[in-house]
Chains A and B, each alone.
Chain A
Amino acid sequence: AQKVTQAQTEISVVEKEDVTLDCVYETRDTTYYLFWYKQPPSGELVFLIRRNSFDEQNEISGRYSWNFQKSTSSFNFTITASQVVDSAVYFCALSDYQTGANNLFFGTGTRLTVIP
């Protein structure tokens, strides 16, 4: 069964601090996709990244970076030099490779508050 755990329910940081959001997953599939989404107060879900299980290379996009460790079933997300606009709920999600993004299993989310 697919399961995504985001143990951090809420995190508060002061602006310009770095912050890492943890994501641990469980799956019996040997190939799968992992995602991160951002949900700002307005409610819409913003797609941030999709990573397939073949590729364990870390990825950086501006102030965002992702660390995929297959050995520990983790896909952590780091925001460098956080800004107030980063305040949102962040969801980690998992889907199996065969159905692609058809069946997304979401974690419970981590609410990030960046204090000015």
Chain B
Amino acid sequence: GAVVSQHPSWVICKSGTSVKIECRSLDFQATTMFWYRQFPKQSLMLMATSNEGSKATYEQGVEKDKFLINHASLTLSTLTVTSAHPEDSSFYICSARTTGLRQPQHFGDGTRLSIL
């Protein structure tokens, strides 16, 4: 149980385009979803936290107009990287947890984004 799926796994696109990454909880209701960014050989950095039906809460230094997060249902959150540039190339990982503050986060497979 507690499976989180991310799509796509890998995307390569031209500079200036927008890219949407989906995060789905397959067998549980994800009241809270998290988006992380991981640079090569580095740790995960939390970008934002989103609760279903509410606006996302962004961490300091993360541009909310650049990284649009939508959590419209209990099983789906999306991250859209708008007008992507090479410096946005990274590994993006989502996680989800169900209701209850002490429920663990379950992570998706991650999306490798490469901007040319």
Contact = CB atoms under 8 A, between A and B. Distances in A.
Contacts, number: 56
A102 interface: yes
B110 A98 contact: no
Given A102-B49, A103-B46, A50 B101 contact: no
Interface residues of B, number: 24
Contact of A106 (B43, B109, B112): B43
Contacts of A91: 43-44
9 contacts: A35-B104, A44-B109, A45-B93, A45-B107, A47-B105, A101-B101, A102-B32, A104-B44, A107-B43
Interface of B: 32, 34, 41-44, 46, 49, 91, 93, 95, 97, 100-110, 112
